[in-house]
Every structure is written in structure tokens, then in C-alpha cells.
Structure 1
Amino acid sequence: MGMNDMANLTVRHGSYYVRFIVPKDRWRDVGAVLGSSTGLRRDVLKSLRTKDRKTAFKLRDAALEAIRRSLNLKLAEAGLPPLHGDAVPDRMSEDCLLSEALEARRQIASTSDRTDGGDEQMGETDPRRRLIEGMDYFLEDRAEQLEKAGKDPSGYVRRFRETALGEQTPFAIVLDRWMKDRETYASQAAISLDRATLNHFSRYLADVQGLAEPPENLIGFLRAQVIEDVSPMVLGGFAEWLMDKQNLAAKTAGSRVSPLKVMWDFAIRKHILKGPNPWLGATAGLKRKAGKRKSEVRPFTEDELIRLLQADPGEGRKWAWGSAISDMMRLALLTGARQNELATLIVGRIINRDGTEGPLSGFHAQRTNRRSGHVGAVQRE
């Protein structure tokens, strides 16, 4: 069937890469020996140096084994146990289950269900039915491999089959089509806000499910969630969670809900989901609720300003944007400009970037239509 053809493969800039998935209980060990900035490493990418699909398939298994051997050597040098080869194969991970089941779903949907033959023993048959039968044989083989590894295969088989047959809808289906559509007309700033919403929503679902810590890959976690399993009551609690647990203002919480409403509208129009849109009215009453909260508004003290300027943005966090956020906070404190405006500054707005007009440089100020302020120019050496 070819449903597992792309397992452990990814395409970047037209070239094929192999992806070795590190077992979850070894993320910290592998992150340590590879010098990961976050202290964790969940996968290893290696270029196969080919743009040909068939060549990539031939090179995949050997490349995966080479990565495993290289990691085991580094682990041994650090006095850590090796990654055992008899573990559950990478192709049975959550990421691979989802990608393979979605590929099977596409194949089944595009295959004819018109009767084209049959016999007395099996009855009438058609290409789609034969494809599904082939998928079932494929799943039997996977179940056997899981059993040999000491795992219960029932959950894997059920999720794969229900996803492939369209009986459940992972968020990945909606996210992929919606984000692709958004890229055709939305600005990068709007798409960044969409991603902020999706990250918040992923954290919320993890919190509702009782996870001790939010997933490291928030979008990956959200992609694997089944839409039908998220009840309207859970959806309805998102806005309050943003205000109560994330301490967002009512206006900000409302802006985080809006992209989800837009995404659901898109999915309903494309007949991916059935109406009505559960996000209709989700922000009603937020401003009234927020009005009851009395918050003190005062300027920063001198000590507080010094602490903000001297703070280490990476302390206690696992992120790649600490230094950028630190720079943005300094600009915000020095200029009084809003952080969301500073985040949209582009290289073209830098004044005297090449230094031809002297030692000082700055940002071109652009007044907004809002009364709340504008992006001010800042001079720096």
C-alpha cells in the first residue's frame, strides 16, 4: 500500500532527510551528549543528500542505524546506557501513527468504491474495499511487532483504523488545510498570533488532561488530539482558563479565542467538521468579568526596572527566543512602545544601519491610528 513509505523521512528545501526518533525516556540523556540548548533531544535529522524519493527509501534504514550507532557511542563515552535496538520501532511512534493514518485516509478517499469484480465465495468487491483489506493486513503485522516488544497493540490499531476510515478527526487535518489557506492571504503578524493561540490551546488541553507539564512540542501534541474527543464543555472553558490560569486580560483572552472560531468556520465550510461552530459566543461576558477585577496601575520602581534589565531570559525556561525577548523588553522600557509593535519591526526600518551617518542608529518611527501610542525611535550606540 505504501502507507509507511514516508516513515522517518522528511523533505526540506527539496531534499530528503532521515529522522531518528529518540525514545521519550532517553530525551534528556541524548540531549546531554549532543549538547542541546534545552537539555532535551527528541529526534535527530540527517540529510540523505538526495532529492529522489526512491533513493531516499533505499538509504533510510541504513541511515537510521548509523544514527543509532553514533548516539550509542556518545552515550557510552558519557557512561550512559545505549539505545537498545529491540525497542518499539520508531515507525510506531505517535507522530508516525498520525502521518501514516492520514496518508491511508487520503488514499482511501481517492480510491473508487465502484464494484469491479468478485466471486461466489467473497461476494462483490471494489478497489476501495481491497485497499482497506490491505490496510487491515498491514495493521495485523504492526500489532504483531508491538506484541513482540511487550506492548498492547489494541490502542494503536484502533486509532490508526478510525483515523484512516474517517471515524475520528485529528486536529492535524484541520490545522494543515487552514494554515495553508491562511498563508495565501494573512500577514505574517496575523499568522504569528494564530500560532500563539494554538500554543495556548495545546497547553490548555494538556492541563485538562492532567499532564504534569505541558508537552515540549505543543503543536505536535495538538495535531494528535482527536476533535471529537474534545467536548463542548472543554472548549467553553478555554477563555476562562486564559484569564484565570494564564492571567491574560479579557481583551487578550478574546483575541486568543478568535483564531479558533475562524479555523472552525473554515473547517465547516470545507465540510471537514459539522456545524454549528462551538466558538460562537465564547467571549461573551469576558469584559464584564474582567471589570470586576481591580488591578493597580503604577509605574515601575527603580529596583524593578533594574531587575527587568538584568534578568536572564533563559533562566528556568526551555525556549530559543530568550535573547530576542530580552532585547525587545529593553526597547519597550526605553521607548514606551508596545511589545507587539516592536515585534513587527523589520530590517528596513533601521536608520543608519551601515553607519555612514555617524555612530548612532535607530528605528524609523511610524505613528499608528490608535491613541494608545506608536513605535518610537530609539537611538543606540
Structure 2
Amino acid sequence: MTDPQPTTTTWVDGAAGSLYDVDNLPYAVVATGDEPARIGVRIGEHVLDLGAAARALRPEWTPLLAVPRLNELMAAGATTWAEVRAWAVELLTDATRRDEVEAWLLPLADVTCRLPFEVADYVDYYASEHHATNVGRIFRPDGAALLPNWKHLPVGYHGRAGSIVVSGTPVHRPAGQRKAPTEDAPTYGPSRRLDIEAELGFVVGRSVPLGQRVGTGEFAETVFGVTGVNDWSARDIQAWEYVPLGPNLAKSFATSISAWVTPLAALEPARVPLPGQDDVPVLPYLAEDGPSGYDIEVEVELNGTVVARPPYRSMYWSPAQMLAHLTVNGASLRVGDFYASGTISGPEKDQRGSFLELSWGGQEPFAVGDAERTFLEDGDEVVLRYTAPGARGRIGLGEVRGKILPTS
């Protein structure tokens, strides 16, 4: 899908040259006062109220835009996605329409963002070779860091859609069974090793019936956009429960996503080749033509201190490959399905996207201001920020913010 290239500058004050210029225009579901929630796009430090604009100018799009979720717009298909995006660019760059459009321009500080789409199903992958290798070395120091299947398929697990929350939602420390290696039996209580996972998420905007597969070449017509993801993880609960079937309660208590969904079209300038896959050829259904990775920078902040900068460009498996693998067995897709990349980690220590890796399993505390830390404490606040190359400069993918509260 080709992104419309704006040829004029936006008239919105302060937006030109910002992370949220007209080459970005991420979507959110916003509410103001007592008015019903509806869809808007961010431009600089404002939000264009697409619901109100549609009622006035494009009534045929009112059922897609004057609604409290993105699902209806996504279900309309890739042609409509492109048309709505081009219309928003036109409204925000045509200076002759400024007086008309300013009535639908809301200060960002005056809106409340909701969960942007109704989540159907959720799958989380394990797509970073650096993360998987680090975790293997931490948990299997005398064995192979990567298991035999890892370079043949994108490893993943099915998560809990109902636990996905929008950025800013507080996260209660989970409780569950824990068993340290030095303990004879498990005990129940709050997690002692609460962690983050800095990830990127992909929002499916197309339904595919059971038994039909989606190829890597269908990625752009199937995935509507991307969000930031924090896959909160209770490592002590996970270590005890995950054998033999994998993560369950250690991750199902909360997964935070950005309020803003960045259209794939805005990320076309960020496309880069995958860094690997030369030593182990992939099966034909995972093959791709052209650059299939993304040059997205992530910043991990704990209590105001940036502790890591994971690079998404270092990921081994691409989002199109994850999508193809998700459906290769004939599994269906629904509008609102969501899948995430797994922890983003690079080759350097300051590029690790989880505290498990940064602290090397809790054995090597890392600096947070004047303190040293390993895992999360009650009252901690984590913020993930994302930027990427855009058509006019860097663009922002929003933030994922969450504060840890005590076990409820």
C-alpha cells in the first residue's frame, strides 16, 4: 500500500517537523468531557477529531470513524485505510480549509485515550535472537542457548486478550505459585521477580476464514498498524509453571499497549533488511522478497532514568513471517487479532529489552539514578517510547506507560 506523500506543510501550529507531522498521523480512540469516544489522529500536540469531521464532510464514513473502536475502520479494508489517511492529510495541509477544520482540532492535553481496538485474539512471539540467546544462557548455562527449532520457525504462545490494557493503566503486582531453586516446595504470594518486556505489536485488520492461509506477501493488506507493547512478566511464577506447556499466569495478568496505532503506511521509510536467516534457510511459506524488518528505536525508562535502548532492526523474524506462521495451520483471523514480537533486544548490554537480561537473572544489578535495581518494585513506573524514520524525519509511535501497584 503506497502512502500519500504530502507536498505541502501542515498548517497546524507546531506540528511541522515534529514526531507527529503529516507523515505519521497515528490513530487513537479519544474522549472529551461527556461526549462519546470516537476516532482521532494525532497531529503535533493536537488530535483531529475524525468522527466529527466525518459527520460534517463524509457521512458515509461516520459508521467507521464516529465510533469508540478502530475495528469498523479496519474491517473496511486496505483501500479504505488509504482513502481515510489521504483525506486526513488533505484536511491538515490545505490552508484554505483551516478555519473549517480547526473546529475539529482538539488539544492533546484535553483528550482521554481509550483502548484503541477491541482485541479478538492475542499471540506473543519470541522473535529476537539476542533475547532468546540471553534467556537460554541465563536458564541453561550448560546447554545450548537456542533450542533446535528456533531458527526454523517463529516460536510463540497464545496470550490472554482480555488482559490487554491501554497505556497509563496501573498494573497490580500478580500473585501465584513460586518456587526458588533453594526451596523444597512452592509457596503462594506476590511475585518477587516482576519484569518488563519491550515489544512491538501488530494489529490485524482483516478476517480470514478457518482453513485459509495468509502468505508473507499479504502482510500489508492484513495488518492495519503497529503499537508499542509492554508484556509484563512474573519471572518466578513463569519459571515454576512454564514446563512443559509454556507461559500462562506469569503473563496473563496484564499486557500494556500504546493508545496510538501507527499505520503501516507511515512506516514504509523505516523498512530494512532482516539481519539474519542466511545460515538456516527458511521453508517456502516463510520466504520474503525485499526488506521486511523495521528500523524502530525503543527507549526503556524506569522511574525517569533511561536504562536501555533496544533496536527493533535487530529482530530475526519479521512481522510478515510471524503472520504467515500464525495461519499456516489453517487458523482463522479476525479483525482485532493482535500479535506481538516478543522482547526486543540487541547485541549490546544497553540494548536489552527486559530486566531479566539487564540484571542477568538478578545477579548483576543495573543503575537507576543513584540506585541499583534488578526487578520491579511497587511504585515503579516504566515508560517505553518508540521512534522510526518517516517520510519527513523521525516519527513517534507513542509511548507505553505503566505503574506498579501492590498486589490487590
Work out whether the TM-score is over 0.5.
no
Q: Does 1 or 2 have the higher relative contact order (CA < 8 Å, sep 6+)?
A: 2
> Which structure: greater helix fraction?
1
Could you tell me the TM-score, scaled by structure 2's length? Answer: 0.23
> Which structure: greater strand fraction?
2
Kindly name which structure, 1 or 2, has the bigger radius of gyration based on alpha carbons: 1
